[in-house]
Structure 1
Amino acid sequence: MHAKDFSVSLTADRFPLVRDIGANHTEGTYTHHDRVLDFDVFLFVTKGRMQVIEEGTEYFVGEMEHLFLKKGGHHWGLPLTLPGTTWYWVHFNSVVDERVSYSDYCPMPELDYYFPDQYQYRFAMPKHGTSAFHLTLPNRLQRLLEDYGKQKDNGMTLISLQVYQLFLELRQAELSRIAKKTAGKTDTVAGRVMEYLTKHMEEDFSSKQLSDFVNMNYSYLSATFKKLTGQSIIEAHTKLRMNRAIHLMRSTPLNVSEISERLGYRNPFYFSRVFKKVFGEPPSTYMSHFYKP
């Protein structure tokens, strides 16, 4: 089976629960255990090189490289791990709410206000690799290991939260690395579209103006944006306008009709219907949640 079927995914609404953390060093040639586990594994090599086989795919994890091993996958090794290899490991359970239908797309940074489905997405961790961020991991993992051995209230929860933060930063480092490599390629389309939409969030949407701004055919833009972000251009534009509405509710004395007019909605009742569709309640009710002077 191909390794991509064994990527480890986390969700935005549940943090991984750490089972245990440890560190190992081998003086002689080492062979990884042959096993099938009921939890996920994070390995990080600080010195030497470890060999692991997962479901027939062989990995060599070098210095300052990580590897995630998937729960339920068969992994083992040959006597190919170098003498003197040192590594950290974290065993954890990825907690998924089976009642939730998770999206495979993270909300875009420009759409960072709370929506009803804001946390209902999953994201795959980079299976194997390294980055500049990995240079910080030896010290962080050592501190985690030291904290793991201490008795404190809510100790395991605090450790799990720290591991979750570390995983999120590791993933962000990988996304940044990929973005630098692909600068100027197809995935920058989403950024250009969001740049235009952000500048024009207080106006009705114009597909022609967007096409002229990006200098691309709108049909191509629309299909590419949907593929990259999981939502349509119109959906993104609407959410930006609703985000702007919330900002105006928080920071100005404008009423619903005035906010509607400010955002280019000629009919405040239509604005209210759109707002309720996005947030699940009308703007007048939403405004009542804020503390205002």
Structure 2
Amino acid sequence: MDSFVYLTGDRFPMVRDIGWNQVNDIYTHHDRILDFDVFVFVTKGSMQVVEGTTEYIINEKEHLFLKKGLHHWGRPETLPGTSWFWVHFNSPTNDYSTYKEQSPLPEIDFFYPDHYAYRFPMPKYGTSPFHRTLENRLQLLVEDFGKPTEHGMVQLSLQVYQLFLELHKATTKAWSKSTENVGKGEAVAGRVMTYLKQHTNEDFDSEQLSSHLKLNYSYVSATFKSQAGLSIIEAHTKLRINQAIDWMRNTSLNVSEISERLGYKNPYYFSRVFKKVIGQSPSAYMSHFYKSK
């Protein structure tokens, strides 16, 4: 069973409880199988816990996510004086069958409901410079948990979601820097995106891209898709449509003029592509905007 805890772009984790604990004697983690996920952050000392058959030693300023439904237990190895925060929460959903595995690329995605239908695994275990701020932030959340207010748990859950998003960004960035192959993949994808943004006014040419990057196109294509979750051609098309939308919002250009600027063969072909990507014709889409006359 996958031991990662997943969050999604369209729902926030729902906090059950949150707190802080310190032990004065040797401590043994509870032997249990939970129906909720757990976030643990050690502020002092060292905690030992086993998930399934994998042992973790969580040292000071390190975190661990424990997944619901897995067997969690421990030995009497957690040091006296160890202190930690915990957050018990329910993940947004168990059914990810319709969710994308990559977060949307901000340069090319449009903010429709399916834009948010993606999931991402929280870093299972680790630390980063961001972790130095966690103790104070978690302490404030614990204090808020003890103050019953209207919509209090919703607000607390949103704050925990924001904290998890920042944790994900910080820890993933630190991990990527230490992983050479991941770093290379991100670099290739970044170079592709730079090239595509410079060529939105023309049809895509794979040989031209390959020559520009001085890399085999099959390698570039596979690397980009693994990083971005869509093909290079799909990304190029979305960038062109995104440029079209920008002109629709901010200029008085009509559909034919926009089509011509983007290098499409004719406005009818442009309209077919636009409708395939957006779901409605350019003229219908333009009617949504509030524009001065």
TM-score range, shorter chain: over 0.9
Aligned residues of 2:48 and 2:78 also touching (Cα < 8 A):
yes
Take 1:149 and 1:253, find their aligned partners in 2: how far apart are those partners? Answer: 55
Q: Give the Cα–Cα distance (whole angstroms) in 1 for the partners of residues 276 and 8 of structure 2.
A: 24
Determine if the alignment matches structure 1 residue 181 to structure 2 residue 178: yes
Matches within 5 A, 1:128-147: 128-147=125-144
Aligned partner of 2:169: which letter? Q
- Give the Å deviation of 1:99: 8.3
Match of 1:8 among 5, 15, 26: 5
Shift of 1:289: 1.3
Does residue 154 in structure 1 map to residue 151 in structure 2?
A: yes
Cα offset for 1:234? 0.1
Equivalent-residue separation in structure 1 for 2:113 and 2:236 (angstroms): 17
Closer/same/farther in 2, CA of residues 93 and 116 from structure 1, 3 Å limit: closer
Could you say which residue in structure 2 is the equivalent of 1:218? 217
CA distance in 2, matches of 1:154, 1:116: 24
1:211 aligned partner, one-letter code: S
Matched, 1:88 2:85: yes
2:45 is aligned with what amino acid? G
Q: Match of 1:166? A: 163
Secondary structure of 1:109 counterpart: coil
Distance 1:77 1:97, change over 3 A: closer
Following superposition, the deviation at residue 186 of structure 1 comes to 3.2
Q: Which amino acid aligns with 1:257?
A: S
The DSSP-based 3-state class of the residue aligned with 2:155 is helix
Pick from 23, 37, 40 the counterpart of residue 37 of structure 2: 40
Counterpart of 1:258, as a letter, is E
Q: TM-score, normalised by structure 2?
A: 0.95
How far did residue 185 of structure 1 move? 2.2
Q: Is the 8 A contact 1:116 1:280 kept in 2?
A: no
Relative to the length of structure 1, the TM-score reads 0.95
Equivalent residues in 2 for 1:271-286, closer than 5 Å? 271-286=270-285
The CA deviation string for residues 88-132 of structure 1, in whole angstroms up to 9 with x for no partner, is: 000000122748601111112322432452111110000000000
Correspondence for 1:229: 228
Match of 2:115 in 1: 118
Q: Secondary structure at the match of 2:280?
A: coil
- 1:180 Cα offset (Å): 2.6
Deviates more, 1:15-24 or 1:258-267: 258-267
Residues 50, 82 of structure 1: 8 Å contact kept: yes
Separation in structure 1 between the aligned mates of residue 113 and residue 201 of structure 2, nearest angstrom: 23
CA shift for structure 1 position 73: 0.6
Worse-superposed segment, 152-161 or 173-182: 173-182
> Relative to structure 1, is the Cα distance of residues 26 and 54 closer, same or farther in structure 2, using a 3 angstrom cutoff?
same
> Which region of structure 1 is more displaced relative to structure 2, 116-125 or 178-187?
178-187
Deviation at 1:217, TM superposition (A): 1.1
Greater mean deviation of Cα atoms: 61-70 or 217-226:
217-226
Answer yes or no: is 1:253 the counterpart of 2:244.
no
**Match of 1:147, as an amino acid?**
D
Structure 2 unaligned residues grouped into runs of 5+: none
- Which consecutive residues of structure 1, in runs of 5 or more, have no partner in the other structure? none
Give a deviation string over 1:265-284, Cα, whole Å, max 9, x none: 12111111111111111111
2:20 aligned residue:
23
Partners of 1:68 and 1:97 in 2: CA distance:
16
Is the 1:31–1:80 Cα contact (8 Å) retained in structure 2?
A: yes
Kept in 2, the 8 Å contact 1:42–1:91? The answer is yes
In the TM superposition, what whole-angstrom CA distance separates every residue of 1:210-249 from its partner, at most 9, and x where no partner exists?
1122110112211221222221100000111111111111
Question: Are residues 115 and 245 of structure 1, via their aligned partners in 2, closer, same or farther at CA, if it must alter by over 3 Å?
Answer: farther
Instruction: Give the equivalent residue in structure 2 for 1:289.
Output: 288
Q: Give the corresponding residue for 2:203.
A: 204
